[in-house]
Structure 1
């Protein structure tokens, strides 16, 4: 896991060096005391991450260098396996929500911190293998980057059953036969970056002064690796489930192009609500290993996925507090086999900024 985190950081950190705050007209290239004009790569990064044509009547820059924040995360996820041959059946699995809390220190647009699993403090995870996750998001005026990695634990429950005779749809029972590894990258471009700010809603690095919206275009790639031991299901389900649902290993890659809309609503002084929905047309290629008596299959098809972002924040430039939710869903459908999974993170936070930037200090 540590190696994966290092690879993610090595990939994303060079990009983040150019992701200056909106409204700041100075780039890294300006600080390089050289007579030569910046090369094409630096000019390209400055154009994408550090635009100097922000409309300050709509977006106010962050006036401080540093921030301290207390953050609480609640993570949700679900997986569903189904088949329509010979009759429609579906099993849905999900663990209890996981909660983490911790302090974070921020420098301009970077937040570093440490969080602990609150369930572990009370012994709720005793005897269960904990999941692992890593999320990194960077939002500049024009571009956004989300990098994520998740490995589930073994504390799933069967939360919903359909298509099985004599089994109630709200049937619930613990299930330790599902483990999932998932990693991916999301990139998106903000069309109306001059007047609409994602960082104002999700990283508190700018202030949205007037309501504004923007079209959002994006690209995403993710890789999913699921191990499903159906023999650990209750006997009543095993005996009646469709043969196409008896899979052992599902590995698929999801590549998608998305286009949606986001809106920042300034409903009161220093208050902001944001809602963003970006549907995506996704191409999926899958390798499915069935039980030993069956052959393995390769599937390729197109489906529609969704990415939802929502947030409410109060930010008077000095102090800030708010809540945000980011959710993703992935759907895979064929006549004989279907799989759906989704996960989301609810974040509640409060903090303050300090140490004014030089250009905002009062001259004595």
Structure 2
């Protein structure tokens, strides 16, 4: 029986390898001829925190924004959606003035590429933790609201997925694919962004400066980041069609900063190395027709001075539900496929779906 042992070992090894390869081949499920429609509910946001050596805690600045309804669709790598925010009348009935804003996020995913574009402008912020700096403050006192304080940001990220056969960003975040087995990939990226925070008075209001004796008298700060990032994305499946996924992508940037003080109106410029990161999280169900879940996207930029640090966060948090529509019998979709999958770009977009 001894001569049979090598044969049994080779046979079992081949079967195990074959099973592993079969699972790898079936890890990512495509829906190339389906239109993926969805409805989303959740807020987009932009907020920041100021940390100064004179302060025992960070000062947290938050907007007063309503949740948004989004209706949209994806087909292949292309998608569009329309937002419907709560009415102005509903916001005026809240306990605090509404933040004025313009908020645009665009996220596109190809087989190997993820692209994110953000344009945001918010005006009107409240300080969410004033009790930490003024213990004598009445509990029912309204939170300090700064109607003139505004933030602006313009950013773009591009990310390359090193192992698209093991991790699909389309399955993780846009549901044009599905993953039936766990998998992950390292990521490489580059980004550029410009952000500013300004007000008619100081960013830290006079009442808080008096209470904390801080010397932070900046009325405006703007900074530009150009850099590279590296990270990892992983999707874990359970009960086959349920999944949880996370992407963490920290980066280093060359940062140029412009600061302006209220006291004398003088401005100062400097440059250096700073940190910037992107985080994506999602938990959901990805069936053959119905899909849904909860997901978030967060960009964080940090700017430092000799005695202070400011972190600016922007992104969204959404709950969503979607349904796939089969287009097998839609003859005109052949022309759409040719437009979305030109021969010169198929190394990025993949091949168009096969149709009868």
TM-score bracket relative to the smaller structure:
0.7 to 0.9
Equivalent in the alignment of 2:151: 180
- Aligned partner (choices 31, 34, 58) of residue 62 of structure 1: 31
**Which secondary structure state, in structure 2, belongs to the residue aligned with residue 200 of structure 1?**
helix
Give unmatched runs, 5+ long, in structure 1: 1-54
Aligned length: 306
Alpha-carbon distance in structure 2 between the residues aligned to 1:232 and 1:84? 16
Equivalent in the alignment of 1:132: 102
Say if 1:298 and 1:232 are closer, same or farther in 2 by CA, change over 3 A: closer
Measured against aligned partners, the alpha-carbon deviations of 1:35-89 in whole angstroms (never above 9, x if no partner) come to xxxxxxxxxxxxxxxxxxxx6321111143323211112223321234326x767
Which residues in structure 2 correspond to 1:38-77 (within 5 Å)?
56-77=25-46
- Aligned partner (choices 27, 31, 52) of residue 83 of structure 1: 52
Which residues in structure 2 correspond to 1:1-364 (within 5 Å)?
56-84=25-53, 90-118=58-86, 120=88, 122-124=90-92, 128=98, 130-154=100-124, 156-161=125-130, 164=133, 172-230=143-201, 235-239=206-210, 244-293=215-264, 295-357=266-328
Give unmatched runs, 5+ long, in structure 2: 1-23, 330-352
Measured against aligned partners, the alpha-carbon deviations of 1:139-175 in whole angstroms (never above 9, x if no partner) come to 1111110011000031x1112359957667x994222
Say if 1:121 and 1:217 are closer, same or farther in 2 by CA, change over 3 A: farther
The question of whether the paired residues in 1 share the 8 Å contact of 2:149 and 2:203 is answered with: no
TM-score (norm 2): 0.76
The question of whether the paired residues in 2 share the 8 Å contact of 1:272 and 1:314 is answered with: yes
The question of whether the paired residues in 1 share the 8 Å contact of 2:201 and 2:262 is answered with: no
The question of whether the paired residues in 2 share the 8 Å contact of 1:90 and 1:162 is answered with: no
Structure with higher Rg: it is 2
Greater shift in the superposed pair: 194-203 or 101-110: 101-110
**Which secondary structure state, in structure 2, belongs to the residue aligned with residue 114 of structure 1?**
strand
TM-score (norm 1): 0.75
Alpha-carbon distance in structure 1 between the residues aligned to 2:29 and 2:267? 56
The question of whether the paired residues in 2 share the 8 Å contact of 1:275 and 1:311 is answered with: yes
- CA RMSD of superposed structures (Å): 2.9
Alpha-carbon distance in structure 2 between the residues aligned to 1:236 and 1:251? 24
Measured against aligned partners, the alpha-carbon deviations of 1:104-145 in whole angstroms (never above 9, x if no partner) come to 133333222222112636244786452111111111111110
The question of whether the paired residues in 2 share the 8 Å contact of 1:266 and 1:272 is answered with: yes
Measured against aligned partners, the alpha-carbon deviations of 1:317-351 in whole angstroms (never above 9, x if no partner) come to 22211221111111112223321111231111112
The question of whether the paired residues in 2 share the 8 Å contact of 1:64 and 1:353 is answered with: no
